[in-house]
Amino acid sequence: MPADLEKSRGAAAAALADVAHEPGAAKPDPIVVVDNITRQFGGLKAVDVGHLEIQRGVITALIGPNGAGKTTFFNLLTGFDTPDTGERYLNGKSLKRVAAYKVAKLGMVRTFQLTKVLSKLTVLENMRLGATSQLGERFWAGPLAFLWSGQEKANTERARELLRRFKLDAKENDFAGSLSGGQRKLLEMARALMVEPELVMLDEPMAGVNPALKQSLLGHVKSLRDEGMTVLFVEHDMDMVRDISDWVVVMAAGAVIAEGPPHSIMSDQRVIDAYLGAHHDTDISDLDPEEILAEAEAEIEAEKEGNA
Ligand SMILES: Nc1ncnc2c1ncn2[C@@H]1O[C@H](COP(=O)(O)OP(=O)(O)OP(=O)(O)O)[C@@H](O)[C@H]1O
């Protein structure tokens, strides 16, 4: 790990050193505070979070078995869904009745998976949309069009700068749909940065990414923290959680059941029980790499025999 990255991880760990390893623990400098948020779908309480604080300037992972309520909670935080009860605050300001695009203007953005429609736009067009859709485009129409064109120029410049940073500049005129899984993830992240956010929320940043690009993606996420941004991500890839998170929040059956630094979370009995209870396919214990290799080889052999 380069010295500057190590330094910022050290600072993040120091900020959290005195925080209790308990659900709802108070943080020294929370950017987000959640109180009694619930969301019900029919008879199912998908989210029921009593109190949660997200520390500023650190990388927090949100993990939990399938159906734990992570995505629903993400949507509630960013205003893409409305809680039945409860309050959430960004920098001390209540987000009740704040529209999703305004939440982005206040500094909280989330990544979106590339939809079918967005796949048919070029990489650069996707980036420009990252800025406009969050601004509320209509404002720039009509008599203010001259202002809009100035804004558009600035947006294009920022988009190109970000594409260079994520090494996607050679692809600016390619359709987004032609990018590889990993390049799509980079584009999703770059697009979120168009609004110069304080808090970046990543939805499964490692899904569909090949091992070669994983390292580069991890580096990009760490560099967001390096620049003072706060990162909150939902992820099933436990290697990523272990490698880059300063703090881990665990959800199960809609509630937060554990919080703490990755090393203590991975050995927490409540967490292990929640995963095992859900028959989740991610094994969070430290598996022996040789054992995995031997299993994989046996599987390949079995397949070969089956095909013979
Ligand atoms: N729009 C909806 N209507 C009805 N039920 C929903 C809706 N969205 C989510 N749910 C249910 O709420 C629960 C929580 O789902 P959610 O997608 O938030 O979990 P998750 O932790 O993100 O799961 P995964 O890791 O599989 O993505 C699940 O039981 C799901 O079926």
| pLDDT tens, position by position, 287-308 | 555 665 666 677 667 666 655 5
Sequence-distant (6+) residues with CB within 8 A of 194 are 127, 128, 130, 131, 134, 155, 158, 159, 162
Tens digits of residue pLDDT in 57-105: 999 999 999 999 999 999 999 888 999 999 999 999 999 988 888 888 8
Asked whether 182 and 209 are in contact (CB, 8 A), the reply is: yes
Ligand 1 atom at shortest distance from the alpha carbon of 236: 25
Between 281 and 107, the higher pLDDT residue: 107
Using alpha carbons, select from 86, 78, 96 the residue that is nearest to residue 35.
Answer: 86
End-to-end CA distance of the chain: 46
Please state the domain extents for the chain.
Answer: 3-107+197-307
What distance in Å separates the CA atoms of residue 194 and residue 67, rounded to the nearest whole number?
Answer: 31
Place of tokens 């059956």: 253
Mean pLDDT of 16-27: 95
Among the ranges given (114-128, 202-216, 245-259, 270-284), the one the predictor scored with the smallest mean pLDDT:
270-284
pLDDT level of residue 34 (50, 70, 90 thresholds): very high
pLDDT level of residue 3 (50, 70, 90 thresholds): low
Q: Verify whether ligand 1 is closer than 6 Å to residue 63 (CB atom).
A: no
Between 7 and 162, the higher pLDDT residue: 162
Fold designation for 3-107+197-307: Rossmann fold (3.40.50)
- Number of residues written out for the chain: 308
Chain centroid to CA 31: 15
DSSP character string of 135-192: H-GGGGSGGGHHHHHHHHHHHHHHHHHHHHHTT-GGGTTSBGGGS-HHHHHHHHHHHH
- Please state the pTM of the whole predicted model: 0.82
Q: How far is the CA of 104 from the centre of ligand 1 (A)?
A: 23
Place of tokens 């100035």: 150
Nearest CA to ligand 1 atom 9: 72
